[in-house]
Amino acid sequence: MKNLTLICLLLAATNASGQLEKKYVLHDLLREGQLSIVNREVNAVESAADQYIQVAENTNEGIIWLPLQNFKNGQIKIEMRGKNILQRSFIGLAFHGQNDTTYDAVYCRPFNFLATDSVRRIHAIQYVAHPAYTWKKLRDERNGIYEKGITDPPDPDGWFTMTLDIHDTLIKAYIAAAAQPSLVIEKLSKYLDGRIGIFIGAYSGGDFRTIYVSESEL
């Protein structure tokens, strides 16, 4: 734990809103054994130019929990990379996690970012609240509310950021440096605090570099 504390202290900074922002370097946390990994194999990738974790594909969803227990309100930003292969890239953030199956999540489908099919394009970013509210249930019963398209989407094969702005039940999701959110929803679960982690959908993997967390006192 002393190495984790050192990492967080050295990389803490103040964001534009005046909140204390902690930068979690996922490669380092994996090396230190500080990530809790559910239903995935994860490897550290390191070169002279970059370092990140690579998450292998697997059936069912996977979660990689940070060593952070009681996040409530604030911002979470992740640097991640998927791929432009149909139904093989579902990557994002879990938050307010209670256990390995009960959490809220917002994730992207990079293979839909630049799709020529208009229906696929509006399925680029998704909110879920597991276990009760899966993507299928929300699409069948509340179509168009909890998944949206992305204006000026990033390269589906490249690195991009997603930022979640969380204030009690209101969730806003921003992609890259967009001034306007791609998704704005009222969360469906009753949980208002909990763990933060990486969400990986069924039959999907991905690459993940850093997560930035700014906690609000509100």
138-163: pLDDT as tens digits:
999 999 999 999 999 999 999 999 99
The answer for residues whose C-beta is within 8 angstroms of residue 121's C-beta and 6 or more apart is 112, 113, 115, 149
Integer angstrom CA distances of residue 196 from 66, 116, 177, 187: 6, 34, 22, 15
Percent of the chain whose predicted confidence (pLDDT) is above 90: 89
pLDDT confidence of residue 69 = 87
User: What is the model's pTM?
Assistant: 0.91
The answer for residues whose C-beta is within 8 angstroms of residue 139's C-beta and 6 or more apart is 147
With a cut of 70, say whether residue 3 has pLDDT above it. no
189-199: pLDDT as tens digits: 999 999 999 99
Choice between 216 and 7, residue whose per-residue pLDDT is larger? 216
Looking at the domain covering 2-215, what would its CATH class be? Answer: mainly beta
The answer for residues whose C-beta is within 8 angstroms of residue 192's C-beta and 6 or more apart is 72, 96, 168, 169
DSSP state of 107: E
22-73: pLDDT as tens digits: 999 999 999 999 999 999 999 999 999 999 999 999 999 999 999 998 999 9
The model's confidence at residue 5, banded by pLDDT at 50, 70 and 90, is very low
The model's confidence at residue 125, banded by pLDDT at 50, 70 and 90, is very high
Label each residue of 34-54 as H, E or C.
CCEEECCCEEEEECCCCEEEE
* Strands 103-108 and 62-65, bridge-based pairing: unpaired
Domain ranges of the chain: 2-215
pLDDT, the chain, mean: 93
